Amino acid sequence: MHAIFVREHGGPEVMNWAEFPDPAPGPGEVGVRLRAAGVNFMDTGVRKMPVPTWSLPAVLGVEGVGIVTELGEGVQDLSVGDRVAWYYHQGSYAERLAIPAESLVRVPDDVDDEVAAAVMMQGLTANHFTTETYAIRPGDRAVVHAAAGGVGLALTQLIKARGGKVIALVSREEKVPVAEEAGADHVLVSSGGGFEDRVRDLTGGEGAHVVYDGGGSETLRSSQLALRPHGVHAYYGVLIGNPTFRPMDMPNSILMSYPAVGDHVPTREALVRRTNELFDFVRKGQFTPRIGQRYALADAAQAHRDIESRRTTGKLLLLP
């Protein structure tokens, strides 16, 4: 089998299409043949810089959908031929994988591969953000950064499904219709900071209830200033920029969170339950993942170039 392998940190040029023996599932693991892998900003961060939970050399990628081909010892609740998905397994840019069974969920027959791949990492992230990070209530006003990207589009749809109002930020004028199509109530073009006054104007001077900020250190201060007193700043842009600041600089007694999706699905039971919540939103037409672009798995380096260019919209997928 082949996989995307990196030996050192750097640009997309360090990504190699390499051949490996097919992995054999160990006890509690499942052999899987990849059908689609998701591309995430996390993947570009792992490629570019040291990340505490990763070590190089490594196969990139964390998310995907595939078919069960083999069962390891002790696996009882999955069968060969099952279609399964996962939100986090290191080394997912690979034609074949051995994955712990507890990391897998069955994909319903009425959800196709591409939708399932787009639901996992970014859908679970958006579900976490709109429930446990800040539980969106009807009428709440939320600012969504990078609203035409995969997480941003998922967030916009789930906020609207829960009755909230969305002020979307996009980096380019051509992305405005994409955010509007997802249901955003207002769309602002902003590639960095300086948007807080416009947010306050749109909220009658009060500020937003919550800002979902994946924009890196450039946007942190404006995100905080755009919040109402005791508003929530959900900051998840650490692989773009890890800022330093003093707690006393935080305005309006705001609350700050670094939400990690692993805390949303700490057990297999939680993973299945939360994923089924998302599949239900899909069935109801309240969450429709937008597939921005598809690439051959071997062309993953181009997918990284494109997502880092900020010119893409929606979810990028790699197909073997």
* Residue 314 pLDDT level (bands cut at 50, 70, 90): confident
High-pLDDT (> 70) share of the chain, %: 98
* Residue 64 pLDDT level (bands cut at 50, 70, 90): very high
Name which of 173-177, 215-219, 288-292 the model is least confident about.
215-219
Which ranges in 59-149 belong to alpha helices (H)? 113-118, 124-128
pLDDT for residue 268:
94
> Region 112-119: what's the mean pLDDT?
93
* pTM of the model as a whole: 0.91
Average model confidence (pLDDT) across the chain: 94
| Domains annotated on the chain, with CATH | 2-107+290-319 (3.90.180.10), 122-261 (3.40.50.720)
pLDDT for residue 247:
81
Q: What is the pLDDT of residues 139-184, one digit of tens each?
A: 999 999 999 988 999 999 999 999 999 999 999 999 999 999 999 9
Question: Is beta strand 291-296 parallel, antiparallel or unpaired with respect to 315-319?
Answer: parallel
Q: Is 49 helix (H, G, I), strand (E, B) or coil?
A: coil
Q: What is the pLDDT of residues 184-213, one digit of tens each?
A: 999 999 888 899 999 999 999 999 999 999
Q: Are 34 and 96 in contact (CB under 8 A)?
A: yes
pLDDT for residue 212:
97
Q: What is the pLDDT of residues 236-289, one digit of tens each?
A: 876 555 667 778 888 999 999 999 999 999 999 999 999 999 999 999 999 999
pLDDT for residue 241:
58
Q: What is the pLDDT of residues 53-63, one digit of tens each?
A: 899 999 999 99
- Tell the residue number behind the tokens 């994946």, with chain if given: 214
**Separation of alpha carbons 248 and 2, rounded Å:** 51
* pLDDT > 60? residue 125: yes
> Region 122-143: what's the mean pLDDT?
97
pLDDT for residue 238:
64
Q: Is 20 helix (H, G, I), strand (E, B) or coil?
A: coil
**Separation of alpha carbons 318 and 298, rounded Å:** 8
